[in-house]
């Protein structure tokens, strides 16, 4: 008749139980850990060529520790100008419209044993001129005085286009003459916007100054009087 098993075997079995329990707790902890994620909002935008739009990136991976990367499928259409980290889980990305078309932009973080990514679609619209006006529409000046005429060109979504190549015409260049145009010019009134034109009143009379851009024309009437 067999007697009881030796005590050492029972001791080993009892000692293994806490080890298994501890190991089980670690496994459960791993299972309960939140999986890495990332979102982009909005994930489908339209931006005008040469303009910047903002989108928000959120993730549960610490942005103060790990860099947020990006890649555009077609960088001739759009790219990320800058990324501003606003917290450990939030960043603002500035999407720049390079040229007309559409492209995916991918965002991602590769951390230790963690990876999160998100994709957005960007459509870039071409800049199209919608309107052209001149400021002032009319004015009176004395002979020998210089004066500015400022063009205001706006695109199809209402943005003002600065520094466009304006074609200036004067109905009578013996009364008013064109002195300077393009770039920025500093005078006693401050810097004038690019594309503005500086004129001089040479003798009494009335002239029409006309600006033309992409087939759109606008005029300003100038009355020159004796001093």
The secondary element (H helix, E strand) that includes residue 56 is: strand 52-59
pLDDT at 3: 52
Model pTM score: 0.54
Helix (H) or strand (E) segment spanning residue 48: strand 44-48
Could you count the other beta carbons within 10 Å of the beta carbon of residue 13? 9
The range of the structural domain enclosing residue 191 comes to 129-225
Q: Maximum Cα–Cα distance for the chain, whole Å? A: 138
Name the one residue in this structure whose structure tokens are 């004129």.
199
Please compute Rg for the chain using Cα positions.
34
Which pLDDT does position 170 carry in this prediction? 97
Quick check: 37 pLDDT over 50?
Answer: yes
Provide the Cα torsion 174, 180, 182, 187; round to 10°. -140
In a domain, 186, yes or no: yes
In this prediction, residues 108-137 reach a mean pLDDT of 91
CATH of the domain at 216: 2.60.40.1080
Residues whose CB falls within 8 Å of the CB of residue 22, separated by 6 or more in sequence, listed in order: none
Quick count: other Cβ atoms within 10 Å of Cβ 54?
A: 12
Structural domain total, the chain: 2
Share of the chain above pLDDT 90, in %: 60
CATH number of the domain that 67 lies in? 2.60.40.10
Q: What is the mean pLDDT of residues 178-198?
A: 68
Tokens of 34: 């939140």
Least confident of 19-23, 84-88, 173-177: 19-23
Start-to-end C-alpha separation, the chain:
138
Residue that terminates a domain, selected from 125, 144, 177: 125
Q: How confident is the model at residue 191 (pLDDT cuts 50, 70, 90)?
A: low
Report if residue 202 sits inside a domain.
yes
Cβ-Cβ contacts under 8 Å for 133 (sequence gap 6 or more): 151, 152, 218
| Same domain as 117, residue 187 | no
């Amino acid at each position: 008749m067999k007697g009881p098993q030796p005590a050492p075997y029972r001791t080993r079995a009892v000692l293994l139980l806490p080890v298994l329990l501890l190991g089980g707790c670690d496994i459960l902890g791993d299972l309960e850990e939140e999986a890495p994620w990332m979102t982009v909002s909005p994930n489908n935008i339209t931006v005008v060529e040469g303009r910047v739009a903002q989108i928000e990136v959120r993730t549960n991976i610490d942005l103060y520790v790990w860099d947020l990367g990006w890649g555009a499928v077609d960088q001739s259409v759009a790219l990320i100008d800058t990324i501003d980290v606003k917290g450990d889980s939030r960043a603002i990305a500035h999407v720049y419209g390079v040229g007309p078309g559409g492209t995916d932009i991918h965002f991602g973080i590769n951390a230790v044993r963690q990876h999160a990514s998100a994709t957005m679609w960007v459509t870039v619209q071409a800049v199209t001129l919608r309107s052209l006006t001149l400021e002032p529409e009319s004015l009176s000046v004395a002979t020998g005085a210089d004066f500015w005429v400022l063009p205001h060109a706006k695109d199809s979504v209402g943005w003002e286009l600065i520094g466009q190549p304006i074609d200036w015409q004067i109905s009578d260049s013996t009364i008013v003459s064109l002195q300077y145009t393009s770039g920025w010019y500093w005078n006693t009134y401050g810097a004038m916007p690019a594309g503005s034109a500086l004129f001089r009143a040479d003798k009494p009379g009335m002239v029409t100054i006309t600006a033309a851009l992409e087939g759109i024309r606008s005029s300003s009437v100038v009355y020159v009087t004796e001093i």
